[in-house]
């Protein structure tokens, strides 16, 4: 499967909507770069933890962030969806802890942190085709993207996905606690002063509560064909892969 020209696909949505899985698999099928912007904020949270900084201490975090490097690479063996390097050290596993997860949502409210990372994200997407996902991609990072998608699902469905993910990692947490945490993350992401999570009129609202991953990807492929970025024969290839 090959796209007809350079393309930017932007995917937004709340925690647990399935953005990372869909974006990663879609990028693989299209043979283009996948960018998990959430991993960048997780890296910043880890940077704060390593340096014993409060997640909301913007001045001190920025002082260290400006001296640091964050790079995203294709996944190495046993990596999640991409390999994350913080100051040239592989921190892919370290940024997936519960503490870092919460910290990433906290540092994401800091205006200067967001400005710094958005600049980096724009630079990455400028010269190549990308599938980029996060929580402000369609509105801030790539507002002129060729295809803008807002993936969502009911909070219960998203909490179930998150709970299942935690169980696979061996993290013991009740579903009730996961649901509460998901609702709290939703409030923080939607109510932050800087670049809150929002749904704009021009985005494609893709509800995934009752869809499998393959059904979601197939729906996106159909939309790309409609927009003339792919040939009609590609939908058959997608269904058979």
- Rounded Cα distance between 23 and 211, Å, is 15
The helices-and-strands tally (H runs, E runs) of the chain is 9, 8
Query: In the prediction, which pLDDT does 196 show?
Result: 74
Work out the pLDDT band at 130, boundaries 50, 70, 90: very high
State how beta strands 8-12 and 130-134 pair: parallel
- What pLDDT shows up at residue 236? 56
Predicted local confidence at residue 1, as pLDDT: 63
Token pair for residue 188? 């923080």
Instruction: Identify the structural domains of the chain with CATH numbers, from first to last.
Output: 8-232 (3.40.50.300)
- pLDDT(66) > 70: yes
Q: What is the mean pLDDT of residues 119-127?
A: 89
Mean pLDDT value across the chain: 88
Position with higher pLDDT, 170 vs 10: 10
CA distance 77 to 75: 7
- Is-contact 11 132, C-beta < 8 A? yes
pTM to 2 decimal places: 0.79
Whether residue 159 is predicted with pLDDT greater than 90 in this model: the reply is yes
């Amino acid at each position: 499967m090959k796209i007809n020209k350079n393309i930017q696909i932007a995917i937004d949505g709340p925690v647990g909507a399935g953005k990372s899985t869909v974006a990663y698999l879609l990028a693989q099928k299209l043979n283009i770069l996948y960018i998990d912007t959430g991993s960048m904020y997780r890296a910043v949270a880890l940077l704060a933890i390593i340096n014993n900084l409060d997640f909301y201490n913007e001045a001190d975090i920025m002082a260290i962030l400006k001296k640091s490097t964050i790079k995203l690479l294709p996944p190495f063996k046993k990596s999640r969806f991409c390999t994350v390097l913080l100051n040239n050290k592989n921190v892919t596993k370290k940024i997936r802890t519960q503490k870092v997860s919460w910290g990433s949502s906290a540092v994401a409210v800091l205006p200067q942190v967001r400005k710094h990372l958005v600049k980096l994200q724009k630079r990455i997407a400028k010269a190549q085709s990308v599938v980029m996902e996060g929580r402000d991609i369609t509105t801030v990072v790539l507002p002129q993207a060729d295809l803008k998608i807002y993936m969502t699902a009911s909070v219960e469905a998203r909490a179930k996905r998150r709970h299942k993910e935690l169980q696979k990692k061996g993290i013991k947490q009740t579903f009730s606690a996961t649901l509460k945490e998901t609702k709290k993350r939703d409030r923080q992401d939607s109510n932050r002063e800087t670049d809150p999570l929002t749904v704009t009129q021009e985005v494609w609202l893709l509800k995934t509560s009752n869809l499998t991953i393959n059904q979601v990807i197939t729906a996106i492929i159909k939309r790309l064909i409609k927009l003339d970025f792919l040939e009609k024969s590609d939908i058959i290839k997608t269904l058979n892969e």
